[in-house]
Amino acid sequence: MQSVLAGFTLGFSLILAIGAQNAFVLRQGLMRQHVLPVVLTCAISDALLVAGGVAGFGALVQRMPWLEDTMRIFGAAFLFWYGSRALISAWKGSDALEAGQAASSLRASILTCLGLTWLNPHVYLDTVVLLGGLSAQYPSPLHFGFGAVTASFVFFFSLGYGARALAPIFARPRAWQILDVAVGLTMYAIAVSLFLG
């Protein structure tokens, strides 16, 4: 249970950071346009990436024990950088979300979603390298991976289908700043726990 909870928490924290993919899902939800195919595409893609990371790094760490400490330190440093980026974004402020864009076809929406997911270099650092490496620290890496995959499904379905309720809030740039601060502080907290652990 501890491994599942750790995987869920870390997976959710990493995916929470607002980026191009999440902004796209939020826009699709606000417009109520192809929401189910889009959130499924994101969640299944994440599941494949997490599975690859957990399977590959679990076996690798067993053969190279020193890799676990290296990945833990790398993970802490990466999360600190990630948190700093979110806090800088909050400091600078960002534009309000504009939901009034023209409708797009299902095919265009899926292709855009796939591009934002698989062509983003950070997805490989976050999902494959970081989550895969950290999973080896837990008694059951598979349970850790299950927690991270569950977080992806919960997050994307909540974002896609909950977006309509958030429309008035995210029409204001201040809401993005508050969210970025929350993301930054969460990343810092996880980084400190990794470094001390």
128-149 per-position pLDDT tens digit? 878 888 887 888 888 999 999 9
pLDDT averaged over every residue in the chain: 82
d(C-alpha 192, C-alpha 169), whole Å: 31
Give pLDDT, residue 99.
Answer: 45
Q: 77-112: per-residue pLDDT in tens?
A: 877 887 898 888 788 875 555 544 456 799 999 998
Neighbouring residues of 84: CB distance < 8 A, sequence distance ≥ 6: 184
Taking residues 4-19, report their average pLDDT: 83
Predicted TM-score (pTM) of the model is 0.71
Taking residues 17-26, report their average pLDDT: 76
Query: What proportion of the chain, given as a percentage, has pLDDT over 90?
Result: 22
Taking residues 46-50, report their average pLDDT: 92
d(C-alpha 105, C-alpha 124), whole Å: 28
Neighbouring residues of 108: CB distance < 8 A, sequence distance ≥ 6: none
Neighbouring residues of 24: CB distance < 8 A, sequence distance ≥ 6: 38, 112, 113, 116
Give pLDDT, residue 156.
Answer: 96
